[in-house]
Amino acid sequence: MTIEIERRFLLKNDNWRTEAGTPEKMLQGYLSVEKEAAIRVRIIGDKAWLTLKGYISDVTRSEFEYEIPLQHAEQIMQTMCRFKLEKHRYKINHQGFIFEIDEYFGENAPLIVAELELDSEQAEFPKPDWLGREITSDGRFTNAYLSKHPYSSWVNHTACH
């Protein structure tokens, strides 16, 4: 088990794109989208993982992640995952901190979220000029929630940026 300490933010502008390289395409399907325990299958290229996340706080989760055969992931995704989402992930190194920018597609477009993993909940970090409002404590912006309740179904686009 690992402990994941993560902060999430909306973005103010598209300035991050000048620092972003080629994204990874991710397909995620959920077997459970409960706040207390989310169970996910993720496919990136020809690799796949099964991940179990447990709620500790809005910022911290326990995480169990296992690489699984791609064929198994595709079968699980097709037969067992009612809730799915697709996104591109960009990684940006900003002053030694790795920001992961997720650009969502389908019913979750045009949502773009920055995530940052930290060593502690109180850790300080530099804030790039493109970093907007923090949404870490807003459960609607978790991937599990978005897979079941797509962004386009609940957001007033002009109020969130």
pLDDT tens, residue by residue, 110-119: 999 999 999 9
- For tokens 């794109």, the residue is 17
Report angle CA 34, 91, 121 to the nearest 5 degrees: 55
Q: Determine the structural domain holding residue 29 and report its residue range.
A: 2-159
Burial class (CB in 10 A: 0-12, 13-18, 19+), 4: middle
φ, ψ for residue 140, nearest 5 deg = -65, -20
Residue from 30, 104, 145, 151 carrying the catalytic annotation? 30
CATH number of the domain bearing residue 115: 2.40.320.10
Is the bond preceding residue 150 a cis peptide, omega within 30 degrees? no
Model confidence pTM above 0.85:
yes
| 57-76 per-position pLDDT tens digit | 999 999 999 999 999 999 99
Q: Is the pLDDT of residue 161 over 60?
A: no
Report yes or no: 40 and 53 within 8 Å, Cβ to Cβ.
yes
The count of C-alpha atoms lying within 13 angstroms of the C-alpha of 15, restricted to the half-sphere facing its C-beta, is 11
Instruction: Name the domain count of the chain.
Output: 1
Phi-psi sector, 18: left (phi>0), alpha (psi -120 to 50), beta: alpha
104 catalytic? Reply is no
Q: How do residues 92-145 score in pLDDT, each as one tens digit? A: 999 999 999 999 999 999 999 999 999 999 999 999 999 999 999 999 999 999
